[in-house]
Chain A
């Protein structure tokens, strides 16, 4: 086991005095043609120019990201819509969900209150707080129809009870009953091309052609038509409001300019496709917010502005309609609007404190496959860094063929403490989309979802937040609990009496796969019932196939809606199995019974500590060994084989994914000691990142481990990796990104700081306001993290 001699953390530091080769490395890389060593000239942004905008946004948006906007008019508007909806429901007791949706569209059109910011040229604000909280009128439909689950016997009470118990029992997490009702892909390109008005025309034509015997389809189309008209009313209300504000006077020159622009543009766009760069940017915001408002969705992206707006930008510049300085100002205001959706200075401690799900996707390639890194990409990078934004998250697509400057620019921002990136591998994503049957030109347009999953906008709907904890099954296999097993309907067999490692393996996998199949079957059985609770007609018509099928996306109307089943904490399970094999069967240090007793005692006493040390000397995920890579690959292949060919209730594919959100901390706190040497309450392993209690390998070994896995069996995965700042440079990052894209997983979320700097930031937060760290799916200012999250981030930095 010579690997044990490689790259021990403490010993690595003997090289700390040799980092001068960072510079030499860049020089040599330039000489060898690998690196450019230089960036194109940066656009300068002065944060002071945006202080007034930030103040206005802050005065409007909630302090907490799950709070409500502060403007009283929005609340009044919601209350009026609510009152009208409930009165309607009372008067029409035989309604169904589509009736309710129609009533909701009408009430929204009647009572909508537009909100404009004097410092912002954009119009979109619907008071739904970006999709993650606040009162959203469209969700009243769900409230009014939720009792159908019971009254119309759509889902038995027992199934609901099991789902609740499984969620409360840390077995799974699903963002909705049996389906992820929250996260949705924005339909951007279709609106950029046709406008909402163009989509309405197609829906109207479809109504004319609708077969007489498809009454349900006709109603879906008619409801969508009403919803699209509501969107037009909303858009026009902004023009009206802008005119009113202009007429009222008493405006700053900036406000006059902004409102004059809105008064003109909101007459037509995005009902008609945007004709300028400004209208294009506004359309990205408008789509995100308005679909949240009318259909109750959480649209999780602002799209690919550098890919989809570059033509408008170039045309504006060429025609003299826009100067580069004006474009830069628009980009800064666009980004800051996302950045101020909640107060980033409140402490991050509980579940949703800093999650805004507002990413933009940058870079990648164009439809022809040519690498995409243009003036707009640079503008978004420069504005994001210099105006000190945490949001929007920057989902950057990387490839083995990405321009060096693009990759180095990301590396440079990381070196400056701006860890806001999720890096999606084009090489893998595009290949997998093509494998799944999407045309390659469409595959090349994919965007990053809220955190870690890739999707094709205007084509796909998503159903991604369905987490299953593998380690919970392991925990219960060791710590049997009949009450919990009964409540969560899991069938567990103990492996204490197993005579061989193979038997342990078989029993544990059996326990897991029985549970897994049951979860899948429940989702398949009941997920589609959501169509009868809260359909999304407008959204459906924006997606490919929606108009033709005349069926809602919740009801299988959109052909491309894969359901992701996301496995959490597989690293701990792999490590636990390898430890059991090593300690009990290969080295025979103790019997399985004694070993499990030590685990159950939380490694108590001298013997417990000895056995813990023995467990931690076993191979582990991330060490690059055949044993650990093989074990991880085995689980992925076998689970994949188990669901391959299964169809969801929507007639789509089930897909496997490997990532986990903040549960690695929260569920870890409650998870008892595991055979991998983890103690009671210790954090769990995130995605493909090795368990922090085991990893002592260098980054390349971890990345090579990930590269060894059968990624074709997965549709998303994540590796959070932390880099020691003293060993890194922009070009070293570029090299790592290139290799990751070429041969590793789907997604890399890098952090780069020095431990000393972070510890100093704990003591003197005022000196380190600008350090931004990637926590899991989201980024936050390090100084705004609670102590336990700060400690977790520091612990990660100590590993590498």
Chain B
């Protein structure tokens, strides 16, 4: 089985515990306005105007061979493999194949996703995922659609589904981390934060909330590919701290900031 891979990031320390290899699959169903990697939206191989190729076709075996090169680092740090994208759930069969292979090798696994997928596809992945890094973009359904061009409801249903499935297995260390991109003026009102806090508190399998202040890395890449994304300057470092200070009192779950 083959898929288009956007990139494989080695020595990632920000996408799950320990030292990890992040496999970014190309293709995503959402079109988040603030996306920092619009080159990952398309499922196909693309070309920047300067001829630089975006994406490469790889088999699951090839990807796994690359991932396994860093096995020693995973073992020494408690790390492993993280699937990201695009959205790995947009390539459910390939993701399942990779996760199966990773688990067969005894690797710790994480999946970073928007959560937009068919329930059956989520069910298939569940036994092979240690940590779900679940993006929470906007909890107002109407605005969610406006900002991402996809509905919120199936995403929340899937989140509930993962939560309840994880809780069924009392021995499991599996958990969910909510990852919240914070875009000034778009999703950082008090009601946005209260909704995030309520969501986190309502799900026992959610272990914490990560705040991800907006970074404008997508703008230039979007221009080069003839796409449009939200354009704003990077907020100052205090912005993230302020969000942290506002959100932390609203929830019983730990809130973290870069």
Contacts and interface: CB of A to CB of B under 8 A. Distances in A.
A40 interface: no
B29 interface: no
B10 A701 contact: yes
A16 B18 CA distance: 16
A19 B16 CA distance: 10
A563 B6 CA distance: 49
A768 interface: no
A735 B11 contact: no
A318 interface: no
A21 B80 CA distance: 13
Interface stretch (A204-212, A651-659, A723-731, A774-782): A723-731
A624 interface: yes
Contacts of A699: 10-11
A219 interface: no
Nearest to A16: B215
Interface in B94-141: none
A16 B12 CA distance: 10
Contacts of B253: none
B168 interface: no
B8 A729 contact: no
Contacts of B143: none
A385 B102 CA distance: 41
12 contacts: A5-B8, A7-B11, A17-B181, A22-B14, A25-B77, A29-B18, A34-B78, A35-B78, A700-B10, A727-B14, A735-B77, A739-B73
Which of A5, A7, A743 has the most C-beta atoms of chain B within 10 angstroms of its own C-beta? Answer: A5
B12 A15 contact: yes
A13 interface: yes
Contact of B76 (A34, A701, A704, A727): A34
Contact of A727 (B5, B13, B177, B215): B13
Contact of A735 (B6, B19, B258): B19
B77 A20 contact: no
Contacts of B58: 2
Name the 4 nearest CB pairs between A and B, nearest first.
A28-B17, A735-B77, A18-B14, A20-B256
Contact of A18 (B79, B173, B258): B258
Interface of B: 5-19, 22, 36-37, 55-56, 58, 62, 66, 69-70, 72-73, 76-79, 173, 177, 179, 181, 208, 210-213, 215, 217, 256-258
Given A735-B73, A739-B73, A697 B13 contact: no
A736 interface: yes
Interface of A: 2, 5-8, 11-25, 27-29, 31-32, 34-35, 624, 697-701, 704, 726-729, 731-732, 734-736, 738-739, 742-743
Given A18-B14, A25-B13, A28-B18, A700 B73 contact: yes
Contacts, number: 146
Contact of A19 (B11, B14, B62): B14
B18 A735 contact: yes
A193 to B, nearest CB: 37
Given A25-B79, A735-B77, A6 B210 contact: no
Contacts of B256: 20, 23-24
Given A16-B215, A698-B9, A732-B19, A738 B14 contact: no
A722 to B, nearest CB: 12
A20 B210 contact: yes
A662 B256 CA distance: 42
B17 A11 contact: no
A14 to B, nearest CB: 5
B73 A12 contact: no
A463 to B, nearest CB: 35
A2 B70 CA distance: 16
Which of B73, B215, B217 has the most C-beta atoms of chain A within 10 angstroms of its own C-beta? Answer: B73
B16 to A, nearest CB: 6
B18 A17 contact: no
B13 A19 contact: yes
Which of B6, B8, B55, B62 has the most C-beta atoms of chain A within 10 angstroms of its own C-beta? Answer: B8
B14 A21 contact: yes
A27 B17 contact: yes
B14 A5 contact: no
A547 B127 CA distance: 70
B15 A12 contact: no
A14 B36 contact: yes
Contact of B13 (A11, A21, A624): A21
Given A20-B256, A22-B13, 5 more contacts: A16-B14, A20-B210, A25-B79, A27-B17, A698-B10
Contacts of B179: 18
A34 B258 contact: no
B9 to A, nearest CB: 5
Contacts of A24: 16-17, 177, 208, 256
Nearest to B179: A18
Contact of B15 (A7, A21, A29, A726): A21
B210 A7 contact: no
Contacts of B11: 7, 698-701, 727
B39 to A, nearest CB: 9
B7 A21 contact: no
B174 to A, nearest CB: 12
A25 B18 CA distance: 5
Nearest to A727: B13
A2 B59 CA distance: 12
B76 A739 contact: yes
Contacts of A14: 36-37, 215, 217
A736 B17 contact: no
A7 B10 contact: yes
Given A20-B210, A24-B17, A731-B77, A2 B56 contact: yes
Contacts of B173: 31
B17 A25 contact: yes
A389 B10 CA distance: 34
Contacts of A19: 13-14, 258
Contacts of A7: 7-11
Given A6-B7, A23-B256, A28 B213 contact: no
Contacts of A2: 5, 8, 56, 58, 62, 66
A13 B22 CA distance: 13
